[in-house]
Amino acid sequence: MPSMQFKPIHTVVLALGIAAGATAVGWSDAARHVLPAAHAQTQSVTVPSAPLVTGLPDFTQLVDAVGPAVVNIRTTEKISNQPSMSGMDEDMLEFFRRFGVPVPNIPRQGSPQPEGEGEERPSGVGSGFILSSDGYVMTNAHVVEGASDVIVTLADKREFKAKIIGADKRTDVAVVKIDAKGLPAVKIGDVGRLKVGEWVMAIGSPFGLENSVTAGIVSAKQRDTGDYLPFIQTDVAINPGNSGGPLLNMRGEVVGINSQIYSRSGGFMGISFAIPIDEAVRVSDQLRKTGKVTRGRIGVQIGQVTKEVAESIGLGKVRGALVSAVEPDSPAAKAGIEPGDIIVKYDGKDIDKVADLPRQVGNTKPGTKSTITVFRRGQTRDLSIMVAEVEPDEVATARADGKPASGATATAKQLGLVVGELTEAQKKSLAIKGGVRVLSATEAAARAGLREGDVVLAVANSEVTNVKGFEAALAKADKSKPVNLLVRRGDWTQYILIRPNGK
């Protein structure tokens, strides 16, 4: 890994910023008294406006108010007695597990190899915060993953052995319970009121250092780093051991759970991510009630809509989620959703980007009847769909095998395509109503990525059911622009743009 060097530019910037702020304030308050009389009589002097931000926040009251509700979490796991052990401390082990790095197998020097049954060893360290006075504590799922024992230490140094109520890997949220009453609990904030540039504070146990306080600002909201969560990005210093601790606003309310960092070295590099508390509470409520999280599913595989595709099919701005495959007998199939559809709304809410759909569907209670708006061949239509339940760790796959068969041929010289009819058996195998099979692709078609065995479902937003329909749709297409084809390849459906003569 190449070494990285950092110069203390931020120190200079801060110093200049404070000096500039001080000068501006002094000028606006005393300009008329300091200027010479001759200058004071002129009208050319412009008094600068007051600075938008003055001074720095004092976090001491926040620490006093919220600190008692933040806890340290230690975990142990039962290990088998192998010839060698990692020999690492808890913090490094937590780091390796969190970022998916295999733990090196380094023998402990000066330590005899254990014999007999497995024994308890420290496995990790993290943070958490008290949700309710009766002992429910929220943390990250990766903090308690694989733990045989969870030890919670309060700010007053009392220790409790905790029970894992439930953990959800998809959102990295977990809830544990300790046997205690009358505990100080946090206040839950409104993430909707959180603004980029707003001051926030974190309390946790980086590297096992309990009740450590760091602060910074919100760098971005709705940051896409996962399927089910839009993260809060901050520049608050977060390190291994901070995981599961609260991110607090200036009102002392929890707005997020510190969960991830971006790093090339393993340490903090100025970018950290927190799970929005509204998403976390939704998950924790289910964990407390049933010990697991249920999510909705509709049975589609989706992809991104590119600018070129949006323009070529008349969608306008880039939006929605492109349906690349539909599971047979799924809610989507029963609702009439087809490969090539672009889902632009779910229950009336806009799907601005592809990640919006799984989040909205996932937050829908299974068994709910919802409405999906799709864009299909130049028109939008509403489809009613009954949301099903996601099975644990299920991966949705379409089962059509996509095997083509030969048929009659017709030549589309301007595109470099030779296409043929699909048999009824092929249509049934692919779960499609019509289309034409690509027998060969050369020149412009080949450059666009088409190949033998692909199935063309639509040309320039016109549905294709057979070779005759393909040629008719192609004849109507604007020859001065790239031609969009809706193409099925195996289990996947996507738009391909063909540029005749390299246009």
Is 300 within 8 Å of 325 (Cβ atoms)?
A: yes
State the number of CA atoms in the 13 A half-sphere of 239 facing the CB: 16
- Determine which helix (DSSP H) or strand (DSSP E) holds 286, and give its type and residue range: helix 277-290
Token code pair at residue 50: 């007051």
User: Is residue 342 helix, strand or coil?
Assistant: strand
Dihedrals phi, psi of 238, to nearest 5 degrees: -125, 135
Q: Cα 360 to the chain's mean position, in Å?
A: 13
Provide CB contacts within 8 A for 308, sequence distance 6+: 482, 497
The single residue of 243, 284, 312, 330 carrying the catalytic annotation is 243
Q: Where are the beta strands (DSSP E) in 132-198?
A: 136-139, 149-153, 159-168, 173-177, 187-188
Rg, C-alpha atoms of the chain? 30
Instruction: Report H helices in 1-145.
Output: 9-34, 37-41, 60-66, 90-98, 141-144
The single residue of 91, 123, 127, 142 carrying the catalytic annotation is 142
Q: Cα 444 to the chain's mean position, in Å?
A: 37
Provide CB contacts within 8 A for 48, sequence distance 6+: 24, 27, 28
Any catalytic annotation for residue 243? Answer: yes
Q: What residues does 129 pair with on adjacent strands?
A: 70, 138
Place of tokens 């599913």: 297
DSSP 105-143: --PPTT-PPP-SS-EEEEEEEEEEEE-STTSEEEE-HHH
**Separation of alpha carbons 4 and 473, rounded Å:** 57
The single residue of 168, 172, 341, 491 carrying the catalytic annotation is 172
Q: Are strands 173-177 and 136-139 parallel, antiparallel or unpaired?
A: antiparallel
Q: Where are the beta strands (DSSP E) in 205-252?
A: 212-224, 230-234, 246-248
Is 182 within 8 Å of 168 (Cβ atoms)?
A: no
Handedness of CA 123, 128, 133, 134 (dihedral sign): negative
Any catalytic annotation for residue 142? Answer: yes
- Residue 215, judged by CB atoms within 10 A of its CB (0-12, 13-18, 19+), counts as buried
**DSSP code of residue 102:** P
Nearest by Cα to 69 from 139, 125, 16: 139
Is 354 within 8 Å of 321 (Cβ atoms)?
A: yes
End-to-end CA distance of the chain: 43
* Catalytic machinery residues: 142, 172, 243
